[in-house]
Amino acid sequence: MAASSASKLFRAGRSLLGGLKDPNGSIGLSKDLPRSYLFSQQQRTFIQMRTNLKVVDNSGAKRVMCIQALKGKRGARLGDTIVASVKEAQPGGKVKKGQVVYGVVVRAAMQRGRSDGSEIKFDDNAVVLVNKQGEPIGTRVFGPVPHELRKKKHVKILSLAQHIA
């Protein structure tokens, strides 16, 4: 059933991705890119509900899932605070699996423009767990942290970080 509807779309001159199909079989939006490139690339978006994030401090959690972004309607970006549920945790850590915690986004895969005209983008989405007052739960922060956190009043996280990007 699905295969027949897909073939009807191709016969009508449109692909499943929405671009116009060329007579030679390639998709019209990507004449210079190989077809495998389109499928390997992901759309980078805001950190929103049900986004899995890596925890980059020594609080005991390894992975959390975002429950709610506290600032905007569209989602969280660098420096924003989120509410998250711990999905994986180390035994003997300060936080346990299933616990609801607050976190500050320190790395995001979505691009963010800087005031000097450059853009910053990370390979993964990562958070540092904080308490209700905004103080970090862990005592170390691993990996690079952007200096934009200074504007968002997260200076304590910057002082614990190994590298400031």
Is residue 88 very low, low, confident or very high in pLDDT (cuts 50, 70, 90)? Answer: very high
Write down the domain spans for the chain: 46-164
Q: Using one digit for the tens of pLDDT, what is the confidence trace for 13-37?
A: 444 444 444 455 544 454 565 655 5
The per-residue pLDDT for 13 is 44
Q: Is 155 helix (H, G, I), strand (E, B) or coil?
A: helix
Give the fold, CATH level 3, of 46-164.
Ribosomal Protein L14 (2.40.150)
CA-to-CA distance for 47 and 68, rounded, in angstroms?
9
Q: Of 10-19, 91-100, 139-148, which gets the smallest average pLDDT?
A: 10-19
Torsion of CA 124, 78, 83, 133, to 10 degrees: 130
Residue 152 has pLDDT above 80, yes or no: yes
DSSP category for residue 89 = E
Cβ atoms 27, 39 nearer than 8 A: no
- Average pLDDT of every residue of the chain: 79
The per-residue pLDDT for 32 is 61
Sorted by sequence, the CB contacts under 8 Å of residue 43 that are 6+ apart come out as: none
